[in-house]
Amino acid sequence: MIATLYKYLGRDLLRTAVLAVAAFTLVMTTFAVIEPLRKQGLQATQALRLFVYLLPVMCSLTLPIAAVFSATFTYGRFSMDNELTACRAGGVSTYSLLIPAAILGLAVGGSTIYLNNELAPKLARRGEQTVKANLQGLLYQKLRTDGFIRFDAWLLHADAVDLDTGRLHGVVAVDGDAENASFYTASTAVVEFLQEGDQTEVRVLAIHPTSGEQQGFMIYETSQWSIGPFPIGQPFREKAAFYDWDELQAIKANPMSSEVVAGKLQHIQRLLLADELYREMADTLNAGQVYELTQAEGGRPQRYRYQFRCSTAWIDRDHHLVLGGSTSDLSDPRPVALDVYTPDGSLHRSFHSRLAHLKVSRPREGAWSVGAGAAQAPLISVTLEDVEVLEADAADMRPSSNRRVNFGELEMPEGIARQRRTVDLETLYNRPEDYPAVLAESEDLREYIETDLRPRVIAEMHGRLAYGVGCLLLVPIGAALGLVYRGGHLLSAFALSCIPAMVLVILMVMGKQMIANPGARDAAGIAAIWGGVVLLGALAAYLYGVALRR
């Protein structure tokens, strides 16, 4: 008879749990993640792939809730229909009836630990990669639906989007200067994504644009112009939950295993490279010599050469090189000279400006990575202010004027790129004074590791273990609550099952936040995380030791 009861209870437990986990998971995955991304432009095939990737992730959250709901509902109905009374009259112990719930609890606890530590993190990363691979599609969808897209102070419009080539056609870009807004038009533009660690930025590169200003339109064409890079929001942000158990242990032992730390190190490497360029260029120009940069290849057949001349060059507080801007020589209001030469050596165009800013930016996505000896170095962008432009083939004409001229994607000099320093994390961490040019960034990296990365990893490891053990206890507790309070109705069973689950989740989240708080001790947060398990254990002891005996 007892085998028949086990089969009866086990079948009801399993059927209710499967239906509940399917319903909870489908609803959460579809309406919380897939539908918002689909509205932003996620393609149908990518949405389906993302749905498959996210099912185990959501299942790790919904499986314990579905299991405890199943136990509460099944045993509540069993008690409400007086089947429990009949079993007792037949000499069947109440505790023996709860063995199927204990087996389900073991299965749910083990499955949750496996999903959280192995399968879910890997598939979550794949889902993140699926969305990142379609960032361009999301951006293009916004251009098609809204007609424009905003990047900080810039407003970008495109008449058409070519999904096959990834190009924009009929491009108009306007900045947000209320007094004298400048605007650019181009027949073609390319959208580029720059990736560094967990941060993605977008840059729009216009080909042969024409510029103008609000206070008087003036036709002026340059070979290329770019806006950005601008950081863009991520549907997924990299976090400790995206690492499997082995990765968490590796990051705890060696922070360089974290992609975020690797990205920050890339940023520091780029700043060191920029510092070398700025100092070499400033020394050359201040000595009265010419400094030459070359246009980056970027798939273009022609590579122009840019020769700079200026008697004053200095590095500002933002780690940018500034040319001109000195008041010592009032006889020349535009002391910065820039001559652009074609690949065959003939003069193409000359610029004279009051001020020039040079900035080292990230390379294109995937072009530069830590430790990649043959990887492409970062690129250089130039902004000229208060500019006079003289065309080489129109030397007898009066120079035209422009408030601002931008040049993008100039190549890092080969000598500096070859001398790129390999920055060791241990040196940056222990002896940041060895790199005075990036002392603030080194301290930021140290602070990030100590106050952000390490606490999150510790909290995630304890949280996963505590959640798995707690899920093991939840199902037997739900079964006992169903027997004691006769939770056979759907709503009452759901309400009863939510109480212990909420206790576990709330204390676990509270403990993680305490560990992440720089002013709190890790021990207090760890105690809070495991406090939920302790409370569930105490509740289980009361239910099985006192309530079920009555």
- For 468-482, what is each residue's pLDDT tens digit? 999 889 899 988 888
Assess whether 408 and 486 both reside in one domain.
no
Q: Point out the domain boundary residue: 408, 423, 438.
A: 423
pLDDT of residue 40: 58
437 is a domain residue:
no
Over residues 92-100, mean pLDDT: 87
Assess whether 402 and 514 both reside in one domain.
no
Assess whether 293 and 401 both reside in one domain.
yes
199 is a domain residue:
no
Assess whether 50 and 106 both reside in one domain.
yes
Residues 161-180 as b or e (16 or more Cβ within 10 Å = b): beeeeebbeebbbbbeeeee
Assess whether 453 and 416 both reside in one domain.
no
Least confident of 8-22, 55-69, 165-179: 165-179
Assess whether 408 and 534 both reside in one domain.
no
pLDDT band at residue 371 using 50, 70 and 90 as cut-offs: very low
CA-closest candidate to residue 68, choices 116, 101, 103, 22: 101
Assess whether 388 and 483 both reside in one domain.
no
Q: Point out the domain boundary residue: 423, 440, 472.
A: 423
Say if residues 21 and 112 touch (Cβ distance below 8 Å): no
Q: Going by C-beta distance under 8 Å and a sequence separation of 6 or more, which residues neighbour residue 23?
A: none
In whole numbers, what is the pLDDT of the chain averaged over residues?
79
Over residues 411-432, mean pLDDT: 71
pLDDT of residue 368: 34
In terms of residue numbers, what domain contains 419?
255-423
Measured CA to CA, the distance from residue 430 to residue 425 in angstroms comes to 8
- The burial class, CB within 10 Å (0-12 / 13-18 / 19+), for 234 is middle
- The predicted model scores a pTM of 0.69
Q: For residue 241, what is the DSSP state?
A: G
- The burial class, CB within 10 Å (0-12 / 13-18 / 19+), for 541 is exposed
Measured CA to CA, the distance from residue 50 to residue 54 in angstroms comes to 6
Measured CA to CA, the distance from residue 226 to residue 186 in angstroms comes to 11
CA–CA–CA angle 72, 74, 77 (5° rounding): 100
Q: What is the CA radius of gyration of the chain?
A: 32
Say if residues 65 and 497 touch (Cβ distance below 8 Å): yes
Measured CA to CA, the distance from residue 56 to residue 51 in angstroms comes to 10
> How would you classify the pairing of strands 313-315 and 216-221?
unpaired
- pLDDT at residue 547 tops 90: no
Q: Going by C-beta distance under 8 Å and a sequence separation of 6 or more, which residues neighbour residue 205?
A: 189, 190, 191, 192, 224, 225, 226, 298, 408, 409
Q: Tell me the percentage of the chain whose pLDDT exceeds 90.
A: 17
CA–CA–CA angle 226, 229, 232 (5° rounding): 130
Strand partners, 189: 168, 206
Measured CA to CA, the distance from residue 375 to residue 155 in angstroms comes to 33
- pLDDT at residue 364 tops 60: no
pLDDT of residue 215: 60
Q: For residue 398, what is the DSSP state?
A: P
Assess whether 403 and 463 both reside in one domain.
no
Instruction: Count the domains in the chain.
Output: 2
Q: Going by C-beta distance under 8 Å and a sequence separation of 6 or more, which residues neighbour residue 216?
A: none
Assess whether 416 and 473 both reside in one domain.
no
Assess whether 398 and 456 both reside in one domain.
no
